[in-house]
Amino acid sequence: MIIFNKKIFGFALAMFLTLGLLAACGDDGDGDTEGDTGGDGEGAEGDFESQQWRFVTEEVEGQVQYVYAEEFADRMYEKTDGAVEIDVYEFGGLGSETDQVDQLMQGTVEMAIMSPGFTGDMVDEGQLFALHFLFPDDIATTQDILNNSEALNTDLRERYEEHNISPLAFWTEGAMQWTSNDHPLTSPDEFENFQMRVQTSPLIMESYEAYGANPQDMSWGELYTALDRGTVDGQENPIFFIGDASFHEVQDYLTLASHNNYVAMTTVNTEWYEGLDDDLRALVDETTEELQDWVFEEQDRQNEEFLTAIEEDTDNPTEIVELTEEERDVFREIAMDVREFYRNEVSGVGGEILDKLEEEIAEHE
Ligand code: 6CS
């Protein structure tokens, strides 16, 4: 409860301060104005013009997306001898997750960590990440596919670029697990009429409707209270997020289902990125690539750490139940029908990107 209150207070304060500052003629909070973005010829450092970028994340201080953005900022600062300064914004500082998508599209921010689950109404194909049991259970293999997939890094990227968003990299934040009250979620029967909180993707909703649940989309900023009040019965997330956002405090069960992988994207405003000097764009690409291994280690560390923290939190006991392979197979079978639904009803390209991705996954297996 203490963690939650501190974080919510942090969001509110950051939002208040930042929106006020943005409203005041684009000042980013340290005396520079928006006009600095892209360089003004003054204050050149080494080979690069001084510039200030904004990097917004969907998570708060200490969480995986936020520490990723901090690390990215530090490395760019060093590589450019201090010419590129990146202001990192935690979740809430610039509004909700969907507000952040708009801000990146419009170029109000240059960079964002984005979850495809919040772009479902915009890029139909991006919803393929909502498909359960698509990626291998082995998370390192999944990351390898995310790094090398042409379906994702070329074909899907082009779909996002139609909206002025370039995903430069896809990376996992860990396997997703379910939390609930009253009973663990070991079979579709237990999802019957279950109020399941989901992100805003129609295909995520379809996936849970297929299990018999009533999905409700909402921002995670409202989720602790919604779980506490019983507005929703449960939710899905990687373990580090469940622990750090303290959802386990207001839930009785953690069901280890690993039914999906939480995939995040490092994204940039396409027009801005293409307008960067070649040398600088190469540094952005290089840093993004370097961080793929770094963030894999980070999510692994945080997921381990928070599993132990949840297990040891005797003030807020959580029963942890791991699904057997037979139990997972029952969910898997239902999820395969949702894959067909995606192909026929959701994908604007007849499932072509998914077909290619499935071939790439099969090659890895
Ligand atoms: O459940 C969510 O919406 C949040 N989960 C994670 C792991 N990151 C940010 C996202 O908004």
Residue nearest to atom 9 of ligand 1 (CA): 58
DSSP string, 37-74: TT--SSS-BTTB--EEEEEE-SS-TTSHHHHHHHHHHH
CA–centroid distance, residue 96 to ligand 1 (Å): 11
CB of 97 sitting under 6 A from ligand 1 = yes
How much is the pLDDT for 27?
37
Average pLDDT over residues 138-159: 98
User: What CATH number should be reported for the domain holding residue 342?
Assistant: 3.40.190.170
Q: How confident is the model at residue 46 (pLDDT cuts 50, 70, 90)?
A: low
pLDDT at 304 over 60: yes
Q: How confident is the model at residue 10 (pLDDT cuts 50, 70, 90)?
A: very low
Average pLDDT over residues 54-64: 98
Q: Which domain holds residue 72?
A: 49-364
Please tell me the least confidently modeled range out of 15-29, 194-208, 218-232, 346-360.
Answer: 15-29
Residue 244 in any domain: the answer is yes
Bridge partners (DSSP) of residue 181 are none
CB of 68 sitting under 6 A from ligand 1 = no
CA–centroid distance, residue 216 to ligand 1 (Å): 15
Residue 213 in any domain: the answer is yes
Residue 320 in any domain: the answer is yes
CA–centroid distance, residue 220 to ligand 1 (Å): 6
How much is the pLDDT for 348?
80
Residue 87 in any domain: the answer is yes
Residue nearest to atom 10 of ligand 1 (CA): 58
Task: Please give the mean pLDDT across all residues of the chain.
Answer: 90
3-class DSSP string for 85-131:
EEEEECCECCECHHHHHHHHHHCCCCEEEECHHHCCCCCHHHHHHHC
How much is the pLDDT for 23?
39
Domain count, the chain: 1
pLDDT at 3 over 90: no
How much is the pLDDT for 39?
39
Sign of the C-alpha dihedral, residues 20, 21, 23, 25?
positive
Closest CA to 40 of 32, 50, 28: 50
Choose the residue to mutate in 91, 101, 176, 199 for probing ligand 1, maximizing ligand atoms within 8 Å of C-beta: 199
How much is the pLDDT for 365?
82
Q: Scanning the structure block, which residue is given the tokens 């909402």?
A: 218
CA–centroid distance, residue 59 to ligand 1 (Å): 7
Residue 332 in any domain: the answer is yes
CB of 90 sitting under 6 A from ligand 1 = no
How much is the pLDDT for 16?
45
CA–centroid distance, residue 58 to ligand 1 (Å): 7
Residue 308 in any domain: the answer is yes
Question: Is 39 or 363 the better-scoring residue by pLDDT?
Answer: 363
How much is the pLDDT for 333?
98
CB of 173 sitting under 6 A from ligand 1 = yes
